[in-house]
Structure formats: C-alpha cells, structure tokens
C-alpha cells in the first residue's frame, strides 16, 4: 500500500494568549537577541501513513488533526502531505 509522509502544524488561534511564547520572547531579549516580536509556540507533528491513495490519507489525517492533535476550541491546524518513494521496499 502506498505510504505518505505528512506534517501537521498546530498553532494557537490568534485570539488566544500564549504565555509560553511571551516568556520566550522576553528571554530572547535577555540573552541579547534583539528585535523579536510576536513569538508564538505551536506543535509540529511528523508522521507516516499507509493509505490506498493521497485523498484517503488526507481524509484520515483531517480526522486525526480535528479529534486528536488539535484542540479546536483554541487551536488551528494545517496539513502538508506527500508521497514517499517506495523503490527500495519489497
């Protein structure tokens, strides 16, 4: 079965405060890294998925992102997916 490589980026909705991001921005200045603003911390989830085709892989990963990876009350997500080369598999 074809395999796909995917990355789901989960970010806080713009209206949600990010205290951890604000702490990192403030720490950046403290260690001498100037000019940083609007620092927001999200999640990056890398995975492989076996599926009959890319549409089906995408459909499954939409379910996964909505129900498991992101909290839709406070987070948005985006999905990148691409076929994996299987030339060296049996």
List interacting residues with a second copy (CB under 8 A).
1, 9-11, 21, 24-25, 27-28, 31-51, 57, 60-61, 63-64, 67-69
As measured in angstroms, the least distance from the Cβ of 89 to a second copy is 13
Rounded-to-integer distance, Cα 49 and Cα 8, Å: 12
Taking the complex as a whole, the smallest distance from the CB of residue 82 to a second copy amounts, in Å, to 14
By the 10 Å C-beta count (0-12 exposed, 13-18 middle, 19+ buried), 48 is classed as: exposed
Give the shortest CB-87-to-a second copy separation in angstroms.
19
| Residue nearer to a second copy on the CB measure, 66 or 73 | 66
Backbone φ and ψ of 55, nearest 5°: -60, -45
């Amino acid at each position: 079965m074809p395999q796909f490589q995917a990355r789901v980026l989960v970010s806080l909705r713009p209206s949600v405060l990010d205290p951890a991001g604000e702490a990192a921005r403030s720490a950046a200045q403290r260690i001498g890294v100037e000019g940083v603003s609007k620092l927001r911390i999200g999640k990056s989830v890398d995975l492989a998925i076996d599926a009959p085709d890319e549409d089906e892989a995408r459909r499954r990963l939409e379910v996964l992102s909505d129900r498991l990876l992101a909290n839709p009350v406070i987070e948005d997500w985006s999905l990148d997916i691409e076929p994996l080369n299987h030339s060296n598999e049996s």
